[in-house]
Amino acid sequence: MSLLSLLAADPSETHHWLLPETAEIIYGGIASVLVIGGLVKFAGPMVKKSMAARTERIQKELDASANDLASAQSDAAGIRTALGDIDAERARLLADANAQAEALLRDGRARLTAEVAELEAKADADISAAAARRGDELRTEIGRVSSSALDKVLPSVLDEATQQALVENFISKVGASR
Amino acid sequence: MSDSRIEGYARALFEIARAEGTIDEVEDELFRLARTLESSDALRNALTDEKIPAARRQGIVEDLLGGKATVTTTQLVSMVVGGGRGRDLPAIIDKLVQRASREKKLEVAEVRSAVALTADQQTRLAAALANATGKQVNLKVIVDPSVLGGIVATVGDTVIDGSIRTRLDNVKGRL
């Protein structure tokens, strides 16, 4: 049906049970064209701008995610490297600790052996000194007692006859010497 | 006192004793007195104490020697002590004895014995010492109980020790 026939038709007559009236279609069509045109003219740039901004935001998020992923992978690599270093360091520290413990043990044994030897020597020296001191004390005591005994006995032994005999003996010996 | 003063006193005493004609007795008495002074602190202190008046010290000398020694000896000692030289009396006497011995061309032989020696023993001992040392000796006998027994004879630098004291000390040392 042409547009002219629609314009010429009776507006109060319904021509189809489903379709609207021809004028309604015309006015509706024109209104729709106007509305759509307005939408395209005025809302289109805004929607377009919004879509572009959204696209840009999504791109940024994608880039950030990619960067985060790269960073995470780098960190993971670093951590894996560090883990390897830690293992090596732990092994080195353990080796050092073992070496130091061995050296300490060796020194301790040597020092202990030396101290034991020194203590034994000191004990031997103390025993010898004590024995010598006892011996000296005993000899001193014997000497003191003997001296005392001699001092007490001599006056009774050295009577006049003995004194004269000693004098005569001295004169004889001196006279005979030259 | 200096050696020269001691020598001077010794010479003076010697000359006085020789002039008196009693040098042998005086020499002998003085020698015994010197040894007594050496062995008696109390007597030495009494004769050398400057706080005791000289007259008192001389009185002590006269009490000590009066009747036991010749007058010359007593007067000589009294003179030295009164002059405040009591401290040097042993040294003066030793010089006098040496001088007297030199005059007689003898060497002083100091003999310490625990008991007194008889004249015969002294004669034989002098001969024995002369034989042993090759010197004629002027025997000076000192009775010294500390010797205990036997004799110690000193002639110049030579000491002949036959005393029980020395033997006893040796035994004690070994003990």
What token pair was written down for B124? 């034989």
CA distance A134 to chain B (A): 15
Sign of the C-alpha dihedral, residues A29, A34, A40, A46?
Answer: negative
- Cβ B124 vs Cβ A175: under 8 Å: yes
Residue B146 pLDDT? 86
Decide: residue B175, CB within 10 A, 0-12 exposed, 13-18 middle, 19+ buried: middle
Question: Does A163 contact B at CB distance below 8 Å?
Answer: yes
CA distance B38 to chain A (A): 24
Interface list for A 92-131 with B (CB within 8 A)? none
What count of Cα atoms within 13 Å lies in the side-chain half-sphere of residue A36? Answer: 6
Residue A10 pLDDT? 58
- Residue B4: helix, strand or coil by DSSP? helix
Question: Does A175 contact B at CB distance below 8 Å?
Answer: yes
First to last CA, chain B: 44
In this prediction, residue B46 has a pLDDT band, given cuts at 50, 70 and 90, of confident
Q: What is the rounded distance in angstroms from the CA atom of residue A73 to the CA atom of residue A56?
A: 25
DSSP state of A2: -
- Cβ A126 vs Cβ B144: under 8 Å: no
Residue A8 pLDDT? 61
Query: Mutating which of B148, B155, B168, B169 best tests the A interface, going by the most A Cβ atoms within 10 A?
Result: B148
The pairs formed by B124-130 with CB atoms below 8 angstroms and a separation of 24 or more are B124/A171, B124/A175, B125/A170, B125/A171, B125/A174, B125/B151, B125/B153, B127/A175, B128/A171, B128/A172, B128/A174, B128/A175, B129/A174, B129/B153, B129/B155, B129/B160
CA distance B9 to chain A (A): 35
Closest-CA residue of chain A to B169: A147
* Alpha-helical regions (H) of A14-159: 22-38, 44-157
| Alpha-carbon dihedral A98, A100, A101, A105, rounded to 10 degrees | 140
DSSP state of B49: -
Q: What is the DSSP string of A137-178?
A: HHHHHHHHHHHHHHHHHHHHHS-HHHHHHHHHHHHHHHHH--
- Residue B84: helix, strand or coil by DSSP? coil
- Residue B111: helix, strand or coil by DSSP? strand
Each residue's pLDDT, cut to its tens digit, for chain A (178 residues) gives 455 665 665 555 566 778 778 888 899 999 999 999 999 999 889 999 999 999 999 999 999 999 999 999 999 999 988 888 888 999 999 999 999 999 999 999 999 999 999 999 999 999 999 999 999 898 888 878 877 887 788 777 788 888 999 999 999 998 887 6
- Mean residue pLDDT across chain B: 88
Residue B111 pLDDT? 93
What count of Cα atoms within 13 Å lies in the side-chain half-sphere of residue B11? Answer: 6
Secondary element (H or E) of residue B162? strand B158-163
Residue A120: count of CB within 10 angstroms of its CB: 10
Query: Mutating which of A171, A177, A178 best tests the B interface, going by the most B Cβ atoms within 10 A?
Result: A171
- Residue B160: helix, strand or coil by DSSP? strand
Question: Does B164 contact A at CB distance below 8 Å?
Answer: yes
B57 vs A177, higher pLDDT: B57
Q: In chain A, what residues touch B134 (CB-CB under 8 Å)?
A: 178
Closest CB from B114, B131, B171 relative to A175 = B131
| Extended strands (E) in B85-126 | 107-113
Question: Does A170 contact B at CB distance below 8 Å?
Answer: yes
Assessment of whether the complete model's pTM goes beyond 0.80: no
Percent of chain B with pLDDT over 70: 99
DSSP state of A43: I
Write out pLDDT tens, residues B99-143: 988 888 888 899 999 999 999 999 999 999 999 988 899 898 988
